[in-house]
């Protein structure tokens, strides 16, 4: 009865701050030898030490941590702590993605320097991370807004510039009028600014780009290395985003023009069905091809397009419009002259900005043909109704018709045949294009890395010499709210002035800053030595820790950060700086924390406040709730889970630890109760394998079972002093430390151990304890369970078969029917198949 009394005692509070202090003072979570072997510590000479590099996407300091942060860092912390306990030298770094727009907007609103808001928030978040008990190695700490960091961002930019991978060009780009900057393609979601939701505008501007398109094929090919290690949907998203399509380039001569115009088509088999030719109205080509008498009509059309928003323009059900340019293109396969139009349904920056229109077999071309009253000619017989009559293009494969020498061929065969024909005649060739565009990286904002380029009238774009890096942001003399499309740095008149490093003449700095996705495309390389001064990252540290073993973060970065980081890794590899081409071996995307089915976010309001939850339930219970709610990838509806339940369980564990007497400390476990040990080790076996599989929610369930089992062993079994009980409770506490570090260390101390449990080791499963002498064998007849037999675990298939057939229940179920087959899976299962 006394145990019952004990259990009803209210549980004392854990001194959280004290534990944080203990961990800090003892350097509990620091990896060993970040860049070289630690003196006095054994490490295999061949460098094959077991190491684990666990990275969670670093936070943006937008305020205090919120529920979403708690989830990511809970998940990655479990992985890091598990690896540490199982003997891996583990690096779990932290840094801040501290350049970016919100800081600048906050600074404008409050009339202070963006730095202040940023670093204040970082301090708040750092304290919150400690309160959450996340096992970071704080020596890795970096902030991308520190000159010591962005200096190397500039260095990398110049490296890519030298490699020809960074270039400036004038092109139509996405402009967000609210955020007052251009945006990369990846930052425009359905025509709207990813950050503020404002409809983007199209502007012709000269901007810096990274040539990520050069890497399109490698970004696709190297996905083979990621299969099975990255979630399939992320790979699919990137595949779609890169958007490879294969077909042919075909040159069309234009009547009265020397230079032919090249088009891309995925359907060279339909070449004979081209009845007109279309160029993008906003491409220079339109103005080149227009005849004088149609010039005014074209200008009117282009002017009208200016009033169309990107969102309207992208609507695919919009009526087709266009204007005849007065010129004619010549179809290279049949010499036919077809009229040239300009339209906004052709995109200036995809393919060549021009296309051959085959209305019979392409819906968009057919819609345009109908609108302009142009002919429709079927060249592939698909057996469907005539597109000219139905208005529905037939895109399927079929048999070639009206295509000269190719008539009668299946279109699938005609396709390569026509490509061969084009190549032989020198008017085209097989070709691949990608939907992916180059990465637009310049931003017309202040709080970012200055682009380290000097514009000289004579020398053009000149990179800032390495010994002059970093190009620091000006401290004063600039405006955060400049006029028109000028950048804030453009107003820093003193800062702008610089002599050309090449010719010494007065010149001007570039006034744009870099997209913060440049910063994040390589930060994981710098963590092992964030103070390194000889380069962006320490080669020794990179050699020891990279690539990242397990990367954890949200899937909203599928086509942004994750794609950029993959590209940057390949580019730096090509520069000879990295020994690998993929930065993240394994990727886990955690879900979102939602409330009553509604997403929580800054714009929609954080419906649940993390600090309030921690205040009410404690950090451990919040963490356990996050993990136990479901698989890491799933969203958590906070309304559907129970932090109170987690508190209850954690208290049960602590009472258990209190109940185990000091007298059993150091007792030989082998003398413990055999049944208890069997139960404990059976659970530990499953806990270990689920942990390895990343099924953290299931691990919690098993730990709860283990808790119940141990409590029952105390109440109705061998009692609290039995060595088997101590063994079980200690194993429970060690495993718990991955999820609830405060409770675990508190319990570990109660059990009479020195801190910290994080420095102990993962329980070793004694497999000999979990093999059963006897097992229950299920006997099925036609797949239905008809009998259960207690059999020796080592029974032979023949014996088991005979035993099954002898059983009364089976004989009854079989009756007079003929036995066709007996499947024996000794010792657990027998299935008897009867004739039907």
Q: Is 785 in the site for RNA (CB under 7 A)?
A: yes
Number of H helices, E strands in the chain: 30, 32
**Cα dist. 195→33, 184, 289, 438, 515 in Å?**
40, 12, 39, 20, 13
C-beta atoms surrounding 24 within 10 Å? 13
Residue (of 271, 288, 388, 289) closest to 331 by Cα position: 271
Q: Which stretch binds RNA (CB under 7 A): 50-58, 62-70, 359-367, 730-738?
A: 359-367
Q: Report the distance separating Cα 472 and Cα 474, nearest Å.
A: 6
Contact flags string 404-433 toward RNA, x per CB under 7 A = -----------------------------x
Dist. CA 387–CA 575, nearest whole Å: 53
817 binds RNA (CB under 7 A): no
Query: Judged by CB under 7 A, does residue 831 bind RNA?
Result: yes
Assess 790 for contact with RNA (CB under 7 A). Answer: no
Q: Is 819 in the site for RNA (CB under 7 A)?
A: no
Looking at 123, 189, 396, 665, which residue binds RNA (CB under 7 A)?
A: 189
Site for RNA in 554-583 (CB under 7 A): 555-556, 558-559
What token pair was written down for 446?
């202040």
CB closer to RNA, 139 vs 681 = 681
Tell me the per-residue interface mask from 709 to 748 with RNA, x by CB under 7 A, - otherwise: --x-------------------------------------
Provide φ and ψ at 400, rounded to 5°: -70, 135
**Encoded tokens for 76:** 């990655």
State the nearest-atom distance from the C-beta of 42 to RNA, in Å: 37
Which of 34/431 has CB closer to RNA? Answer: 431
Contact residue for RNA among 123, 304, 644, 764 (CB under 7 A): 644
Of the candidate spans 424-432, 459-467, 628-636, 810-818, the one that interacts with RNA by CB under 7 A turns out to be: 628-636
Give the nearer residue to RNA in terms of CB position, either 818 or 821.
821
| Contact pattern from residue 265 through residue 284 relative to RNA, giving x for each residue in contact according to CB under 7 A and a dash for the rest | xxx------------x----
User: Contacting RNA (CB under 7 A), which of 628, 739, 748, 762?
Assistant: 628
Q: In the numeric block, which tokens belong to residue 727?
A: 């063994």
Which member of 2, 13, 164, 190 binds RNA (CB under 7 A)?
Answer: 190
**Minimum distance from residue 416 beta carbon to RNA (Å):** 15
**Least Å distance between CB 365 and RNA?**
7
Of residues 351, 448, 528, 672, which one binds RNA by CB under 7 A?
351
792 scored as a contact of RNA (CB under 7 A): no
| Residue 602, marked binder | yes
Residues in 78-137 that interact with RNA by CB under 7 A = none
Give me the phi and psi of 345, to 5 degrees please.
Answer: -85, -10
Which 3 state secondary structure label does DSSP give 459?
Answer: coil
Q: Which of 63, 243, 339, 718 binds RNA (CB under 7 A)?
A: 243
Least distance (Å) between residue 594 CB and RNA? 10
Whole-Å CA distances, 450 to 121, 471, 495, 728, 789 = 23, 6, 11, 58, 76
DSSP letters for 26-91: TTTTPPS-SSSPPTTS---TTS---EEEEEEPPPP-SSS--HHHHHHHHHHHHHHHHHHHTT-EEE
Which member of 127, 604, 640, 674 binds RNA (CB under 7 A)?
Answer: 640
Number of neighbouring beta carbons within 10 Å of residue 167: 14
Q: Does 598 bind RNA (CB under 7 A)?
A: no
Distance from the Cα of residue 700 to its chain's centroid: 26
Question: Could you say whether residue 347 binds RNA (CB under 7 A)?
Answer: yes
Task: Name the segment binding RNA (CB under 7 A); options: 419-427, 636-644, 669-677, 718-726.
Answer: 636-644
Closest CA to 682 of 769, 790, 775: 769
Residue with tokens 């997403």: 599
d(CA 270, CA 264) in angstroms, rounded, equals: 12
| Residues sharing a CB contact under 8 Å with residue 506, sequence separation 6 or more, in sequence order | 497, 498, 499, 500
- Which one, 168 or 695, has the nearer CB to RNA? 695
Residue 527 parent element (H or E): none
Which residues in 688-707 contact RNA (CB under 7 A)? Answer: 695, 697-698, 700-702, 704-705
CB of 228 to RNA, least distance (A): 12
Which residues 497-556 are close enough to bind RNA by CB under 7 A?
Answer: 555-556
Q: Of 326-345, which residues contact RNA (CB under 7 A)?
A: 344-345
Tokens of 797: 């298939």
> 406 Cβ partners below 8 Å, 6+ apart?
269, 272, 400, 414, 417, 418
The nearer residue to RNA, 362 or 727, going by C-beta atoms, is 362
201 touching RNA, by CB under 7 A: no
CA atoms within 13 Å, Cβ hemisphere of 362: 21
Give the end-to-end CA distance of the chain in Å, rounded to a whole number.
60
Among 300, 425, 708, 811, binds RNA (CB under 7 A): 708
Q: Which is nearer to RNA, 101 or 393 (CB)?
A: 393
Q: How far is the CB of 236 from RNA (least distance, A)?
A: 4
Selected binder of RNA within 486, 611, 776, 811 (CB under 7 A): 776
Q: If binding is defined by CB under 7 A, does position 461 make contact with RNA?
A: no
User: Do 700 and 739 touch, CB atoms closer than 8 A?
Assistant: yes
Question: For residues 493 and 776, which CB has a smaller minimum distance to RNA in the complex?
Answer: 776
Residue 183: enclosing H or E segment and its boundaries?
strand 181-183
The token pair at 54 is: 């666990």
Of 138, 167, 324, 350, which lies in the binding site for RNA, with binding defined by CB under 7 A? 350
Minimum Å gap between C-beta 340 and RNA is 14
Residue whose entry in the numeric block shows the structure tokens 């309207």: 312
- Which range touches RNA (CB under 7 A), out of 63-71, 260-268, 490-498, 811-819? 260-268
3-state secondary structure (DSSP) of residue 454:
strand
Binding residues for ATP: 602
């Amino acid at each position: 009865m006394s145990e019952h009394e004990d259990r009803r005692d209210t549980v004392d509070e854990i001194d959280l701050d004290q534990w944080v202090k203990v961990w800090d003072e003892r350097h509990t979570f620091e990896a060993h030898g970040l860049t070289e072997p630690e003196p006095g510590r054994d490490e295999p000479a061949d460098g094959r030490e077991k190491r684990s590099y666990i990275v969670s996407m670093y936070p943006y300091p937008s305020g205090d941590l919120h529920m979403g942060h708690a989830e990511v860092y809970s998940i990655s912390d479990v992985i890091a702590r598990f690896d540490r306990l199982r003997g891996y030298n583990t690096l779990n770094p932290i840094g801040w993605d501290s350049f970016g727009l919100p800081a600048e907007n906050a600074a404008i609103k409050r009339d202070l320097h963006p730095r202040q808001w940023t670093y204040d928030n970082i301090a708040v978040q750092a304290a919150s991370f400690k309160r959450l008990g996340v096992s970071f190695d704080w020596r890795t700490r970096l902030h991308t807004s520190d000159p010591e960091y962005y200096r190397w961002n500039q260095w990398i930019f110049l490296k890519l510039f030298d490699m020809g991978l960074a270039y400036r060009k004038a092109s139509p780009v996405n402009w967000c009028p609210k955020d007052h900057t251009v945006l990369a393609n990846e930052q425009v979601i359905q025509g709207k600014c990813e950050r503020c939701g404002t409809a983007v505008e199209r502007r012709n501007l000269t901007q810096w780009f990274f040539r990520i398109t050069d890497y399109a094929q490698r970004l696709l090919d190297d996905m083979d290395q990621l299969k099975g290690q990255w979630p399939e949907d992320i790979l699919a998203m990137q595949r779609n985003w890169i958007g490879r399509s294969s077909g042919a380039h075909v040159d069309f001569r234009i009547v009265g023009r020397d230079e032919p115009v090249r088009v891309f088509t995925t359907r060279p088999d339909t070449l004979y069905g081209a009845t007109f030719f279309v160029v993008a109205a906003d491409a220079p080509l339109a103005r080149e091809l227009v005849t004088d008498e149609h010039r005014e009509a074209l200008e009117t059309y282009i002017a009208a397009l200016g009033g169309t928003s990107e969102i309207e323009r992208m609507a695919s059900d919009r009526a087709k419009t266009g204007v005849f340019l007065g010129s004619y293109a010549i179809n290279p396969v049949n010499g036919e002259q077809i009229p040239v139009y300009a339209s906004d349904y052709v995109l200036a920056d995809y393919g060549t900005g021009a296309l051959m229109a085959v209305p019979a077999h392409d819906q968009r071309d057919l819609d345009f043909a109908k609108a302009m009253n142009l002919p429709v000619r079927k060249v592939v017989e698909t057996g469907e109704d005539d597109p000219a009559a139905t208005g529905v293009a037939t895109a399927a494969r079929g048999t070639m018709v009206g295509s000269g020498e190719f008539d009668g061929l299946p279109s699938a065969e005609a396709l390569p045949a026509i490509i061969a024909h084009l190549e032989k005649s020198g008017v085209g060739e097989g070709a691949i294009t990608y939907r992916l565009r180059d990465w637009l990286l310049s931003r017309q904002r202040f709080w970012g890395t200055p682009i380290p380029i000097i514009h000289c009238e004579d020398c053009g774009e000149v990179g800032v010499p390495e010994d002059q890096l970093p190009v620091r942001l000006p401290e004063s003399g600039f405006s955060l709210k400049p006029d028109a499309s000028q950048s804030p740095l453009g107003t820093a008149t003193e800062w702008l002035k610089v002599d050309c490093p090449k010719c010494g003449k007065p010149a001007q700095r570039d006034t744009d800053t870099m997209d913060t996705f440049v910063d994040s495309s390589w930060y994981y390389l710098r963590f092992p030595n964030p103070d390194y001064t000889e380069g962006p990252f320490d080669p020794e540290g990179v050699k020891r820790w990279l690539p990242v073993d397990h990367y954890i973060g949200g899937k909203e970065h599928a086509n942004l950060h994750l794609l950029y980081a993959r590209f940057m890794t390949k580019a730096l590899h090509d520069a000879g700086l990295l020994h690998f081409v993929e930065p993240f071996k394994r990727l886990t995307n955690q879900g979102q924390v939602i409330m009553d089915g509604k997403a929580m976010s800054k714009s929609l309001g954080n419906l649940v406040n993390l600090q309030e939850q921690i205040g009410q339930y404690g950090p451990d219970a919040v963490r356990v709730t996050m993990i136990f709610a479901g698989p890491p990838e799933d969203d958590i509806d906070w309304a559907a889970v129970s932090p109170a339940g987690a508190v209850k369980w954690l208290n049960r564990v602590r009472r258990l630890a209190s109940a185990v007497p000091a007298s059993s400390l150091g007792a030989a476990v082998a003398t413990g109760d055999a049944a208890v040990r069997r139960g404990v080790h059976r659970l530990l076996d499953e806990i270990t394998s689920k942990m390895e599989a990343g099924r953290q929610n299931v691990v919690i369930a098993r730990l709860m079972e283990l808790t119940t089992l141990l409590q029952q062993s105390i109440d109705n079994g061998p009692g609290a002093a039995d060595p088997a009980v101590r063994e079980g409770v200690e194993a429970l506490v060690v495993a718990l430390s991955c999820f609830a570090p405060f409770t675990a260390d508190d319990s570990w101390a109660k059990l009479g151990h020195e801190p910290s449990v994080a420095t102990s080791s993962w329980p070793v499963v004694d497999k000999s304890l979990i093999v059963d002498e006897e097992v229950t064998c299920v006997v099925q007849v036609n797949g239905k369970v008809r009998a259960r037999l207690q059999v020796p675990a080592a029974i032979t298939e023949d014996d088991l078969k005979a035993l099954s057939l002898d059983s009364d229940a089976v004989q009854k179920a079989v009756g007079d029917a003929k036995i066709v087959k007996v499947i024996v899976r000794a010792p657990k299962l027998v299935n008897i198949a009867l004739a039907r």
